[in-house]
Amino acid sequence: MNVAQLEVNDITLRFGGVTAIKGVGFNVAQGSIHAIIGPNGAGKTSMLNCISGVYHPQEGRIALDGQDITALSPYARTRLGLARTFQNIALFKGMTVLDNLLIGRHTHQKAGLLAGGIYYGRGQKEEVIHREYVEDIIDFLEIEPIRKKTVGTLAYGLQKRVELARALALEPKILLLDEPMAGMNAEEKEDMARFVLDINDDRGTTIVMIEHDMGVVMDISNRVVVLNFGQKIADGTPDEVQRDSQVQKAYLGQDE
């Protein structure tokens, strides 16, 4: 059953003389929730950027469903079923929630410039199908009240949820979440954790997430990878990782 859907092999990423990630590899099983944790500057976001295609590592190989995607650009990876959210929200602030989500459907829209421009006929038919899909997500993430609100006017926690919704609109097989709970209060965190679980559970989406809230990570993830100074120091179930002496050192500091 535990097929590796995403394989990360021996990734090394350098910026000039600085090595951000050094020979890190791990496998993400289909249908799991996989957390990447580590202290600040450990290379977590760089790792996520390598997976989503924003950075191209100098060494190593990344494969999705057995297909090598190391050299592909971000949009090509999106077509293969990768979607992500950002640590600092990256939505179109001047547009409504609904429009932001419909943009998320872009990869799945087949009507060309002409058909879309004429709208009536093929364009409209397609629009209806995508609106339906988006409405399903709106219902799923309980953002009905803000459907037609401009994103920029929304509270931070809600914007985070809209970003998650837009990533879902891509119909991803793997969802990459960069600190989905950062800056949220306890109640919002609890909601977000529930949504992440529901996405994983109801939609069968594999989730790779970076998160600092250890309570959440230990609670909801199936597997945890710990990075420190660009190197993998542990990889296992939440329990195993918690007991790992290296992890404890990395987090609590080392006695000299």
Partner 1 sequence: MTDALDTFPKLLARNAREFGAKPALREKEFGIWQALSWQQYHDKVRDFSLGLVSLGFERGDTVAIIGNNRPEWVCAELAAQGAGGASVGIYQDSNLNEVAFVIDHCDAKFVVAEDQEQVDKILDLIDQLPKLKNVIYTEPRGMRKYDHPTLVSFAAVEEKGRALNQAEPRRWEQNLAAGGGGDTAIICYTSGTTGFPKGALLTYDNLIVMGKSVNAVDAKWASDEFVSFLPLAWIGEQMVSLTNSLLVGFTINFPEDPNTVTEDIREIGPHTMFAPPRVWENMSSTVQVKIMDTTPFKRFMYHWAMPIGYKIADLKFKKQPLPFGLSLLHKLTYWALFRPLKDRLGLSNLRTCSTGGAALGPDVFRFFHALGVPLKQIYGQTEISGISCIHPDGDVQFHTVGKPIPGTEVKISADGEILSRSASITPGYYKNDAATAQTIRDGWLHSGDAGYLTDDGHLVVIDRIKDVMRLADGTQFSPQYIENRLKFSPYIKEAVVIGNDRPQLTAMICIDMSIVGKWAENQKISYTTYTDLAAREPVYGLLQQEVEKVNETLPLPAKLRRFVLLYKELDADDEELTRTRKVRRTFVAERYKDVIDALYSERTKVPIDTTIKFQDGKTARFQTVLLLRNLT
Catalogue the long-range contacts made by 19-22 (C-beta closer than 8 Å, 24 or more residues apart): 19/230, 20/46, 20/230, 21/46, 21/47, 21/50, 21/57, 21/227, 21/230, 22/230, 22/231
Beta bridge mates, 68: 63
Beta carbons within 10 angstroms of residue 204's beta carbon: 10
Are 131 and 137 spatial neighbours (Cβ–Cβ below 8 Å)? Answer: no
- Pick between residue 101 and residue 225 the one whose CB is nearest to partner 1: 101
Min separation Cβ 145 and partner 1, Å: 4
- Pick between residue 139 and residue 240 the one whose CB is nearest to partner 1: 139
Q: Return residues touching partner 1 (CB under 8 A).
A: 131-132, 135-136, 138-140, 142, 144-145, 147, 194, 197-198, 201-202
Min separation Cβ 223 and partner 1, Å: 18
Min separation Cβ 140 and partner 1, Å: 7
- Pick between residue 72 and residue 138 the one whose CB is nearest to partner 1: 138
Min separation Cβ 23 and partner 1, Å: 37
For residue 178, count CB atoms less than 10 angstroms from its CB and return exposed for 0-12, middle for 13-18, buried for 19 or more: buried
- Pick between residue 62 and residue 196 the one whose CB is nearest to partner 1: 196
Min separation Cβ 182 and partner 1, Å: 20
Rg (CA), the chain: 19
- Pick between residue 7 and residue 135 the one whose CB is nearest to partner 1: 135
Are 89 and 160 spatial neighbours (Cβ–Cβ below 8 Å)? Answer: yes
